[in-house]
Amino acid sequence: MKVLIVLTSHDELGDTGRKTGFWLEELAAPYYRFKDAGIDLVLASPQGGRPPLDPKSNEPANRTDETRRFEADPEATAALAHTVRLDSVAVDDFDTVFYPGGHGPLWDLAEDTTSVRLIETTLRAGKPLALVCHAPGVLRHAVNADGTPLVRGKKVTGFTNSEEEGVQLTEVVPFLVEDELVRLGGDYSKGDDWAPYVLRDGLLITGQNPASSGPAADALIELVTRTTGTDTTGA
């Protein structure tokens, strides 16, 4: 089994002068869920190379056992330093795709035509797709074969308006994930702020926040195993 993890290349937090990027826990927790299950990984980003890390995600209060493990893992840090360009990957080479969040994706991946095409092609090929926290916002331009919004009528979740308010970025982000999923006709629901909350609707898995990233990866592994009829060892 092989999974593609798609990270942001965007590092500017609007016009605040502060930096953003991907959220470390949302990469590290899934990374080790996949690795420990024997699944092969490829990391990609729009620009390739080292994607920007949201500096707040590596502050002491936001570190976890998985983030510390990741930072001490030479193989993991090397993979992060050399992500492949997103426009160089092919859906046929992967069994599934996982999108970590962070605020960065709201600016680049949400508007990236290569990312949109990857999402659409993955699901139309009958392959599962998972996105967590802000990453469900990158579904905003993805459509079904009939041109309707991909999330219309689907059970979805993502970073809540109240969580965005809690980090005081409601007026900074280009759009609010919760509002956008609702606008597109998604059957949006949420759990408690900052608590794990994961939904699956068909081949689509979404997680609400950083704490949901590991459980979303677990759900994705289970779904891929079921849809492919194979184990997760790649043997």
| pLDDT value of residue 227 | 83
119 versus 233: the higher-pLDDT residue is 119
| pLDDT value of residue 230 | 66
pLDDT digits (tens, 9 = 90+) for 143-172: 999 999 999 999 999 999 999 999 999 999
Residue 12 pLDDT greater than 70, yes or no? yes
Q: How confident is the model at residue 234 (pLDDT cuts 50, 70, 90)?
A: very low
Residue 235 pLDDT greater than 50, yes or no? no
What's the average model confidence in pLDDT over 176-187?
98
CA distance 72 to 227: 34
CA distance 17 to 12: 7
Share of the chain above pLDDT 90, in %: 96
Q: What is the CATH number of domain 2-228?
A: 3.40.50.880
CA distance 81 to 72: 14
| pLDDT value of residue 229 | 75
Share of the chain above pLDDT 70, in %: 97
CA distance 180 to 164: 13
CA distance 166 to 99: 23
Residue 2 pLDDT greater than 90, yes or no? yes
| pLDDT value of residue 228 | 78
Query: What's the first-to-final CA gap in the chain, in angstroms?
Result: 8
* Domain ranges (residues) in the chain: 2-228
CA distance 40 to 35: 7
137 Cβ contact partners less than 8 Å away, ≥ 6 residues apart = 105, 106, 110, 158, 159, 175, 177, 180, 181
**What pTM, to 2 d.p., does this model score?**
0.96
Average pLDDT, the chain: 96
Residue 231 pLDDT greater than 90, yes or no? no
Alpha helices in 125-212 (DSSP H): 161-166, 177-183
